[in-house]
Amino acid sequence: MSDVEEKKEKKTLQEKKKQWEDTTVAKVNKRFPELKASFSTSSGLPVDRLCIPSFDEPSYMEKLGFPGEYPFTRGVQPTMYRGRLWTMRQYAGFSTAEEANKRNRYLLEKGATGLSVAFDLPTQIGYDSDDAISRGEVGRVGVAIDTVRDMEKLFDGIPLDKVSTSMTINATASVLLAMYIVVAEKQGVPLSALTGTIQNDILKEYFARGTYRFPPKPSLRLISDIFSYCGKNIPKWNTISISGYHIREAGSTAAQEIGLTLADAICYIETAKKAGLNVDDFAPQLAFFFAAHTDILEEVAKFRAARRLYAKIMKERFGSTDPKSMMLRFHTQTGGVTLTAQQPDNNIIRVAIQTLAAVLGGTQSLHTNSKDEALALPTEDTVKLALRTQQIVALESGVTNTIDPLGGSYYIEELTDRLEAEAEKIIKTIDEMGGMVSAIEQGYPHREIEHSAYLYGKSIENGERVVVGVNKFVEEKAAKVAIFSAPEGAEKKQVDSLKKIKEERDDKKVAEALALVEKTARGNENLMPAIIEAVRVEASLGEICTALQNIFGEYTESFN
Amino acid sequence: MTENTEKKNPIRLLIGKVGLDGHTRGVQYVAHIFRDAGYEVIYPGLRKSPKQIVKMAIEEDVKAIGLSFLSGAHIPLISEIMDLLKDKKAEDILVFCGGVIPDDDILILKKMGVREVFTPGTSDKIIIEKVTALFADSSDEEK
């Protein structure tokens, strides 16, 4: 290549950047102006919105491109955090709806910008609090919700048109979403104004998280029904949060986290397409959820690789033409498994590093774990500290001033390529097995994750992998830590309140509504309207799930 | 490796989950290291009630039940298991557990008769040693 041609190439990339600024950035800036007119380092040097190679880089456009444009490697929004910071969203919930409502209001008062509801296990699996199987579990890992009345109490004084809510709910997502819809109606909030997310990602429950209820096929139908209902009625709602987080927590590597999560995504998209939906009608409402671990540079590369690979899949495999369908928007949580019970203060540092990983990787929202979560649910003070960690990174560190600050690092780019290639291999393996449902039936994801978890554990045991305070710099005498203990008596209170509701409601209406749920489950109509009606007449979560189970059956894991 | 590796009839353990908790990373890891150490391990899978666990432990003639908890439900669930073992006159089946279990609760569990409680970060070596020692103790008692 001659010098003249090289100069021409270089000019082209600069020109392309100018073009990006004049079009993509200008358009967004008009609607959502950047937070400041100019950005600078803490000592006053100017900070450019986006730095690009100053030399010829022929693969730049193909591999990286510009933020807000295909393949979205450098970020999904054109101005990223210069326009709007990520949503600081702390997962919280325990005990009864009244108690959880107090914690949520506390978080909003301290500057959280969205809510994230944790439900107890009976709610997640679809059993009422008075069911024998729920004994000992009510209000334990999250809030207990039996009927729409509990949901009303949970959001009491929280305007649903102002606050976005994320709900970690999968097998029973349709019922909890229905309850949220009915609460919004009661608050006088139109459905079009609702923003938030339901996790609704059943596939990973079968191999990484365990809160399944119905078998895969009818579960996937419920998910398609939700896509279709929300597409028409709640356009700003994220209908699913396809989650790598729990896959990683269960023991996967970073590459497996991307590969298995995107393979789940492919399965949901194929199911919805088979149900007759047009990919660009529902794909813009799909969201993702990943973990952030302490190997900060690998994590940054992971987020970038996931974005690029997803964009390619949407465009090439599914023929999407809407850029919004190709954007991998994601929530991040710092890695629960990286927290140690030993020397819990060390976890503050881990969480800070992981926060940086998520932000340098371009997350859209973030939950930071509290230092005491290897011991119990967090206290108000430790939750506040975790939130403050995000606020310091957001407002003091300066990493938000330019987009994808690590882009162009030789190491980061190579790691991004490598993780993408590894993840693609996993997707190919699953394709060859006949897709994710069939891979799950063959035990593939479960086996892969368990194997990685075993190797990880062994590497700590033999000292190859250092965990400070656990296998190095160990202190014999443990410091006494004040831990959270949930208020006593939640289970009894909840059971009593459910009993009262069951006495007060109109049994005939409940029976009719449940019969309609069953009838709809038997046919092909969208289930959401029937479930919403059942919720409205105060049928309980357990009753609605029993009606569904009568038709769908119950999933039990097999070990072969 | 423990002596158990060489024995012709390895000691049988039931290692699993009780209740609705779906966190399996720890329990599967522990099941794996006990197998590596020569034990025969039965892992019954998710969502087993205390009744199912005790029934299976008796039928399979295990020497001990090891349970993992990350949902905070350890006290009510273990208490039910200990009662059931007593009812069935199967108190010779030892119980140990692990997971996210606060210090104060460890004392309560031990009072109920739980032999060992392993919290996060405990090394494989210590888990195997302590559980293996339980059987040494009980065979001493038999003599």
Per CB-CB distance under 8 Å, the chain A contacts of B34 are none
Per CB-CB distance under 8 Å, the chain A contacts of B49 are 133
Per CB-CB distance under 8 Å, the chain B contacts of A451 are none
CB-nearest to A341 from B22, B76, B119 is B119
Nearby residues of A469 by Cβ (< 8 Å), 6 or more positions away: A340, A342, A343, A346, A475, B121
Does the beta-carbon distance from B20 to A134 stay under 8 Å?
yes
* Per-residue pLDDT tens over the stretch A436-491: 999 999 999 999 999 999 999 999 999 999 999 999 999 987 767 777 776 778 89
Q: Where are the domains of chain B?
A: 3-142
DSSP secondary structure letter of residue A205: I
CA–CA gap between residue A30 and residue A35 (Å, rounded):
12
Does the beta-carbon distance from B120 to A485 stay under 8 Å?
no
Average pLDDT, chain A: 94
Structure tokens at A23: 């079009």
Q: Where are the domains of chain A?
A: 3-63
Nearby residues of A498 by Cβ (< 8 Å), 6 or more positions away: A128, A129, A130, A146, A147, A540
What does the pLDDT read at residue A137? 93
Does the beta-carbon distance from B123 to A461 stay under 8 Å?
yes
Top-confidence range, A90-94, A392-396, B138-142 = A392-396
CB-nearest to B22 from A140, A209, A342 is A209
* Per-residue pLDDT tens over the stretch B83-104: 999 999 999 999 999 999 988 9
CA–CA gap between residue A548 and residue A535 (Å, rounded):
14
What does the pLDDT read at residue A56? 72
Strands A114-117, B94-99: pairing is unpaired
CA–CA gap between residue A97 and residue A178 (Å, rounded):
17
Mean pLDDT of A170-194: 97
DSSP secondary structure letter of residue A525: S
CB-nearest to A210 from B46, B77, B80 is B46
Average pLDDT, chain B: 91
Which residue does chain A place closest to B76, by CA atoms?
Answer: A136
More confident residue, B4 or A172: A172
CA–CA gap between residue B131 and residue B115 (Å, rounded):
9
CB-nearest to B21 from A121, A341, A557 is A121
Does the beta-carbon distance from A376 to B73 stay under 8 Å?
no
More confident residue, A3 or A511: A511
What does the pLDDT read at residue A477? 74
* Per-residue pLDDT tens over the stretch A48-60: 999 999 877 889 9
Which residue does chain A place closest to B51, by CA atoms?
Answer: A133
CB-nearest to B29 from A122, A375, A457 is A457
Structure tokens at A521: 């489950």
Q: How confident is the model at residue B6 (pLDDT cuts 50, 70, 90)?
A: low
* Per-residue pLDDT tens over the stretch B18-66: 999 999 999 999 999 999 999 999 999 999 999 999 999 999 999 999 9
| A166 has pLDDT over 80 | yes
* Per-residue pLDDT tens over the stretch A527-541: 999 999 999 999 999
**Residue B76 parent element (H or E):** helix B74-87
Structure tokens at A189: 């909030």
Mean pLDDT of A316-342: 97
CA–CA gap between residue B15 and residue B3 (Å, rounded):
20
| Interface-testing mutation among A169, A207, A211, with chain B (most B C-beta atoms within 10 A) | A211
Residue B105 in contact with partner chain A when CB distance is under 8 A: no
CB-nearest to B29 from A141, A453, A485 is A453
What does the pLDDT read at residue A444? 97
Residues of chain A with a CB closer than 8 angstroms to some CB in chain B = 121-122, 124-125, 127, 133-137, 140-141, 205, 209-211, 249-251, 337, 340-342, 374-377, 450, 453-454, 457-458, 461, 467, 469-471, 480, 483, 485-486, 557, 559
What does the pLDDT read at residue B142? 45
Q: What is the pTM of this model?
A: 0.94
Strand intervals (E) in A175-270? 196-198, 237-238, 240-243
What does the pLDDT read at residue A377? 85
Q: How close, in Å, is residue A134 to chain B by CA atoms? A: 8
Mean pLDDT of A153-159: 95
What does the pLDDT read at residue A112? 81
Q: Are A116 and A367 spatial neighbours (Cβ–Cβ below 8 Å)?
A: yes
Residue B122 in contact with partner chain A when CB distance is under 8 A: no
Mean pLDDT of A68-83: 98
Mean pLDDT of A105-125: 91
Per CB-CB distance under 8 Å, the chain A contacts of B46 are 210, 557
Q: Which residue has the tokens 């290291």?
A: B33
DSSP secondary structure letter of residue A340: -
CA–CA gap between residue B23 and residue A211 (Å, rounded):
10
Nearest to residue A338, comparing CAs of A330, A346, A326? A346
Does the beta-carbon distance from A461 to B124 stay under 8 Å?
yes
Does the beta-carbon distance from A454 to B29 stay under 8 Å?
yes
DSSP secondary structure letter of residue B67: E
Q: How confident is the model at residue A417 (pLDDT cuts 50, 70, 90)?
A: very high
User: CATH number for the B3-142 domain, one of 3.40.50.280, 3.40.50.20, 3.30.450.70, 3.40.190.180?
Assistant: 3.40.50.280
What does the pLDDT read at residue B139? 55
Which residue does chain A place closest to B122, by CA atoms?
Answer: A470
What does the pLDDT read at residue A475? 92
Nearby residues of A4 by Cβ (< 8 Å), 6 or more positions away: none
